[in-house]
Structure 1
Amino acid sequence: MTVYWLVWDAAAHWIVERLTAQGALPHTARLRAAGISAAARPPAPNCQTPPSLATLFTGTWPERHGVTGFRIPGTGGTVEESSDAFAPGRCTAPTVWRTAAEAGLRTAAVHVPWTIGADGQAEPGVDVAVEAYSDRIDRQAALPLTGGHQHFAVGPHPLDVAPEGDRIRVGCEDRSVTLGERDTQWRPLRLGTDSGVWLRMVATGGQRVLLRTGAWRPRVVGQDRTLTEALTGGEGLPVFAGEGIGPTYRAGLLGPRLVDGGDGSAEDLFLSSVACVHRSFEAPARTVLARHTAALVVIYLPTTDDLGHELIGWCDPKSAAHRPDAAEQIWRRVRTCYGWADRLLGEVLDRAGEQDTVLLGADHGIAGTAWTVHPNEALIAAGLAARTPDGALDPRRSSVLYHPAGNGSLWVNHQDLPGGLVPRSAARALLDRAESVLRAVTEPGGGRPATAGFAPSPGGDPAVVRHVLFDPDFLPTAALRPDRAPVVPSHKPGAHITNNGDPRLHAVFAARGPGLSPGVDLGTVDNTVPAQVALRQLGLSPDDRSRQSLSDPTARRVCTAT
């Protein structure tokens, strides 16, 4: 008996509902017909990927698992300091695979965080863990070609570009690939022994450009030697790409976007880079599916998130970013990307037997964003925060700041912290004043507020820290602007940073297996429920965390359906 758990990053329930109704996700429809399904509420006040995955994989909220954003403030030191949420041991609640290991059950994990310890070895009970995100060498880039010999670097790896007629040869040490602007496929180039990039040459705006993905160093560790060797033998895994070329697309370097008057070729180029990402994840997933002997198999897929950040707002009818003139063309690209994810789900369903369980989940949903909001600009204008002479945020001269960690939190720089500025006794009043300042921030030319509310920080001292709940149409950033504008149009039309309860941020959830009633729609549940279902299907007794979450009416519906 095996529990297969497939996680699509940022797969919003509203998107999956629409695509399934259109017949675009046949395997998702097949799974939902065979078992239970729901919209799943992500954590609050922050629903970035780390806290949302921690909630999904532990069945607990941030107050318990301690993950409050991509970076976590308040972990010691000065007010601006923070720590990496994906660092080993940073999730303090037991994951499903750790609970399974305590019962003697084994796990295989494909690009799942918190499965490799600080010593570089797999966590207890993990047969194999494939992971690359923790060691990024370089980000994606676009190199304008001059027609002559050129050099550039990817991290420590020097690359040469040499013209060969109307083509180019790109080389690194003794490896090279030849590219032409009429080529329709990306080509992988390995760098050294443990990394690589995907390359493609295109002509846009009268200029030939060499596109490349970012580079990461994947690692494969675990106790199942046969499986680890299957993943590392020969050429091993395909060249890993952890994200597409979204920043290059956003900057207009692929040509004008559809919403800027383009013909869709820029979107197609961007989507083709996301296909490289899908190949990076699909290959190890297929190997694990074919060869594992584990009781729990967890597979993570980031492509739905990658695409959503760059495109989803323009076909989100509830967002001010919605563009009816381009929405259907954008939606076709969304349908393609989700179709790749659905195909992998089909392979999981085909691998699973009658006594196995298949779960489809997501860490959170995603909503359209029309505006970028700079809270620190408003705080500086009100005299609560300060900037350095070169225009950056100066935490040491700030009484209150929107934290550089970017997790939605306001912090008072009180004197109990190293280098603190204001008495701790003044902190609550300063937070109240900062809240009033941010409530007054609105969209340019309109009265729509950037904030939707305020909330306590999970596990934090309410006297010195408070979370801002932004309207989903406002993408917050801790960065400052040369023109000092607090709100500007957003070039990134999809986001999921703070959670004010908007249902577009709800994640997809579906599961079929022994004891799960077919065709049951549970409505809306907490995203703590999938972990409880996984534990139940593994035959593990509920622990204290699940007893608490299974005590509410929503969870009782899950019990009835199982």
Structure 2
Amino acid sequence: MVLGPGRECVRESLRDRSDNAARSGARARVDPITMWGLSARRSPGRTVVPSVRRPFTLPTTGTLEIRMLQRHLRLPAVVLGLTLAVLAGCEAPSTPAEQTSRAILVSIDALSESILRETLTPAEAPELFGVFDRGMCADYAMVGMPSVTPSSHATLWTGAFGDVTGATAGGQHRLPRSEHRVTETISGFDYAVLSADPLWVTAGLAGIPVAAHHVTQAPGVPGFPSVDGPRTSELEERRELARQALERADVNVLNGYNRTVVGHGLLRLSDLDPADAADWTDLDVLPADPAPRAYRWTNAAGAFDLLMHGAEGEEGYAAISVGLGPDLSRAVTARRAPLESEPLDGREPARHFSEPLELPVEGGRTYLHLRLFDLAPDGSELLIYHPSMHLMEGNRPDLEEAYDAAVGGWIGNSAFALYRSGGLGPTLMAGGDGTAESRYLETAELLLRQFMRGSEWLWTHFEPRLQMDYFPLSDAIDHELLGYLDPEYPGYDAGIAEQVREFRARVWRLVDRRLGHLIELAEASKAAVFVTGDHGMRSSWRFFRPNRALIDAGLLVLDEAGQIDLSRTRALAPNGYWISVNREAWVDGIVPPDEEASVIALAREAIEGVVDEDGRPVVTRTFTPSEEPELGIGGPAGGDLYWGTAPGYRTTGSLGGDAAVSDAPLWAGHGFPPDEPDMYTAFCAVGGPFEAGRIDGVRATVVAPTVADYTGIPTPRDATGRSVLEAMLGGS
């Protein structure tokens, strides 16, 4: 039978797509437990995670129009493909932009729907509540183990857990084992650890415009490290393909977290060296009274000249100007201003900060922002805050330069460390009057403003099909504050809790504004926004030290200097998340393969035997990769034994301490077993075709495949999860 041009191209299209799907399926790792949902397998003490039925998907085209038509008509794939081809006409295929939809994928660090609903009101976080109440959401999203930022984000970008991605924790084993000791670690944020293609590489290889804004394991070429020995030719080929993708002009990946030039800082008069004001130029533009005073200071970013002077309409000293030399025309100025008290809506965030001062540093440029929190009219007291200063890294030098020019100095986080230490003044928890909190909020506003500027520039300037984005403020502040809201905390104070709750709500209002801005950007482009996170939060006030338990069991031996003696150590906890066997595969390893299982059993016995002062077990659950593969534990850069702890405990990998348990400062954190509900994060979609609704809980491995499916990007080749787009569009 002879087909006309339209039918012939449909037949070829179906054949090509079927072949491509077969090839894709042959090389992708498929989750052994379920295809895209969660297992209902039970283990002792575990919350049962409901299973979700795999959605029906067409083997023909990935366009949104076909998926939606299929949802309503339920036509067989071939009939639907032929029908649409006849309607559209194969002779005039639509462009990729017409076939696919744009989207923003944002990770709000530490986003938990249950914690949000328990601690905030819709008026305090209208955008977030709007997403959960009017968006299409999974009941929860479960990350891998441990539930920490670097490994969870690698999952979001690749569709696989740490045993596949190679990103397993904040501090993890270095590979290859044949070249490193078991005690040597590398940051899990480093792109050198990555053993899977993230979405930006996948999109680049497919020729699809993509942007990634301060994402983890970026912006360099993934390391694809070998487990033992040099990289294989296959691994080198993976690196070369990724390098080619990252060289493309329509792939724009930025990360400012890799290189911090200077941390957050405060300056007082005692931190400055007096200088001669007569050296400054253009003094005639300043009020003659009071007479300007000059100072100098240096930090890792450079040497600075500072001029204290008056300002029009102000009494006495009211401003400072700072430059790389005593030249007023090239300096930036910060004026004394009251602490911010106006609501954020309707005004510019961080409006009392100076303009950025650009500083040349090795490898690029960084920027100094200044907030003059206090300046006595007589010049006797001075308090200046400057945020951290970063060196921007991008996948191309031209991108770094253009981003810096557009944003004027990106900021990596708020001044939570200065707040915690009392540097901004006594905190509410220490009897403060709220000054420290108001100062902190201004530092958080600057973080918000610079992130929003960067996101908007990337989205509007490059018009990517998909933009991946991030925001850290929620995680930073909940580490500090969430524990004070926990009635189980032995030091709980209802009065303090209410003050902290109100302050925390003001910080989360900034998080909410960040999300609202991204939604506004998407709406203007008729795009969708996918909202997710990397873990939940839990308060704790006691330490569990697994290394002390291993020492007591004779599995870990310290030398005279108190350091690990690898010649006599069989197992150790390199971080607070797992125990590793000092196997012979590591440099200086001593445990032969036939003894590894027995060492793991002894380590399990050691930590399960730890009890508190009342004889109650501290370790409530233990896991091994062979027993719980669905948690993504183990892998070449992971551990051999993981655990869960009783309420109130967190784990430290410290070698110090005389006992395996002790009191600890109040803290809220994560890293606990991801199937425990307070570690759940979220996965929602708003805008575009998405309507209000719910699907069952999912693993975080579905995020990348789902977003890829929506935007027409191929599923990342290492993904173990499958798209849930059909379910989120209202299908079965």
- 1:199-238 equivalences under 5 Å are 199-200=370-371, 211-221=385-395, 231-233=403-405, 236-238=406-408
Separation in structure 2 between the aligned mates of residue 48 and residue 416 of structure 1, nearest angstrom: 27
TM-score normalised by the chain length of structure 2: 0.66
Shift of 1:210: 5.1
1:338 aligns with 2:505: no
- Answer yes or no: is 1:268 the counterpart of 2:438: yes
Matched with 1:42 is 142
CA distance in 1, matches of 2:624, 2:249: 36
- Displacement of 1:11: 1.3
Are the counterparts in 2 of residues 107 and 125 from structure 1 also a CA contact under 8 Å?
A: no
Match of 1:465 among 640, 643, 650: 640
**Which residue of 1 is the match for residue 603 of structure 2?**
434
1:456 aligns with 2:629: no
Task: Work out whether residues 36 and 512 of structure 1, in 8 Å CA contact, stay in contact via their aligned partners in 2.
Answer: yes
- Partner of residue 527, structure 2: 356
Match of 1:27 in 2: 127
Alignment of 1:285-324 (within 5 A): 285-317=455-487, 323-324=493-494
State the Cα distance separating 1:50 from its structure 2 match: 0.9
Q: For residues 155-554 of structure 1, what are the structure 2 equivalents within 5 Å?
A: 155-159=300-304, 171=322, 173-174=324-325, 175=331, 185-187=352-354, 190=357, 192-193=359-360, 194-200=365-371, 211-221=385-395, 231-233=403-405, 236-317=406-487, 323-353=493-523, 355-395=526-566, 397-403=568-574, 406=575, 408-442=577-611, 445-447=613-615, 449-457=617-625, 458-460=633-635, 465-471=640-646, 473-481=648-656, 484-491=658-665, 493-516=667-690, 518-540=691-713, 549-550=721-722
Compute the displacement of 1:384 (Å). 2.9
Report percent identity of matched pairs: 22
1:399 is matched by which residue type in structure 2? R
Give 1:339 shift. Answer: 1.9
Aligned-partner residue type, residue 512 of structure 2: D
SS at the partner of 1:248? Answer: helix
Q: Unpaired runs of 5+ in structure 1?
A: none
Shift of 1:392: 4.6
**CA–CA separation in structure 2 for the residues paired with 1:229 and 1:4:** 23
CA distance in 1, matches of 2:634, 2:529: 33
| Alpha carbons of structure 1 residues 192 and 463: separation in structure 2 relative to 1, 3 Å | closer
Contact 1:46/1:407 (8 A) holds in 2: no
Displacement after TM superposition at 1:111 (Å): 1.0
Residue by residue over 1:209-251, the C-alpha shift from the partner in whole angstroms, topping out at 9 and shown as x without a partner, is: 654433211134559x7x8775343xx4233321233333333
Structure having the higher strand fraction is 1
Aligned counterparts of 1:120 and 1:187: Cα–Cα separation in 2: 40
Which one of 115, 122, 126 corresponds to residue 15 of structure 1?
Answer: 115
Q: 1:447 & 1:259 partners in 2: Cα distance?
A: 32
Deviation (angstroms), 1:52 = 0.4
1:140 counterpart residue number: 264
Q: How far is the alpha carbon of 1:527 from its aligned partner?
A: 1.5
Match of 2:159 among 53, 59, 65: 59
AA at the equivalent of 2:654: A
**Structure exhibiting the larger radius of gyration computed from Cα positions:** 2
Distance 1:81 1:129 in 2: 29
Q: What is the CA distance between 1:496 and its match in structure 2?
A: 1.2
Post-superposition shift, 1:417?
A: 2.5
Greater Cα offset, 150-159 or 502-511: 150-159
> Quick one: which amino acid aligns to residue 525 of structure 1?
V
* Other-structure match for 1:107: 210
Question: In 2, Cα distance between the equivalents of 1:60 and 1:417?
Answer: 26
**475 and 256 in structure 1: CA distance in 2 versus 1, 3 angstrom threshold:** farther
Secondary structure of 2:367 counterpart = strand
Kindly provide the amino acid, as one letter, of the partner of residue 94 in structure 1: D
Cα pair 2:542 2:662 within 8 Å, conserved = yes
Output the amino acid matched with 1:112: V
Flag the 1:263–1:508 CA change in 2: closer, same or farther, 3 A.
farther
**1:303-342 Cα distance to aligned partner (Å, 9 max, x none):** 1111121111222456667543322222223322222222
Alpha-carbon contact 1:157-1:191 (below 8 Å) kept: no
Instruction: Provide the rounded CA distance (Å) in 1 between the counterparts of 2:558 and 2:358.
Output: 41
Distance 1:550 1:320 in 2: 44
Q: What is the aligned partner in structure 1 of residue 195 from structure 2?
A: 92
State the distance in 1 between where 2:412 and 2:552 align: 38
Tell me by how many angstroms 1:156 deviates.
5.0
SS of residue in 2 equivalent to 1:468? strand
Q: Is the 8 A contact 2:392 2:404 kept in 1?
A: no
DSSP-derived class of the 1:380 partner: helix
More helix by share: 2
CA distance change for structure 1 residues 191 and 288 in 2, over 3 Å: closer, same or farther?
closer
TM-fit CA distance, 1:352: 2.6
Q: Is the 8 A contact 1:200 1:212 kept in 2?
A: yes
Q: How many Å apart are 1:53 and its aligned residue? A: 0.4
* Distance in 2 (alpha carbons) for counterparts of 1:352 and 1:560: 21
Q: Which amino acid is the alignment partner of residue 453 of structure 1?
A: R
Paired positions, count: 549
Q: Secondary structure at the match of 2:583?
A: coil
User: How much has 1:410 moved relative to structure 2?
Assistant: 0.8
3-state SS of paired residue (1:497): coil
Q: 2:299 aligns with which of 154, 163, 167?
A: 154
Are residues 57 and 542 of structure 1, via their aligned partners in 2, closer, same or farther at CA, if it must alter by over 3 Å? closer
**2:572 alignment partner, SS class:** strand
Are the counterparts in 2 of residues 38 and 508 from structure 1 also a CA contact under 8 Å? yes
Q: Bigger CA drift: 316-325 or 352-361?
A: 316-325
Cα contact 1:139–1:214 (8 A) shared by 2: yes
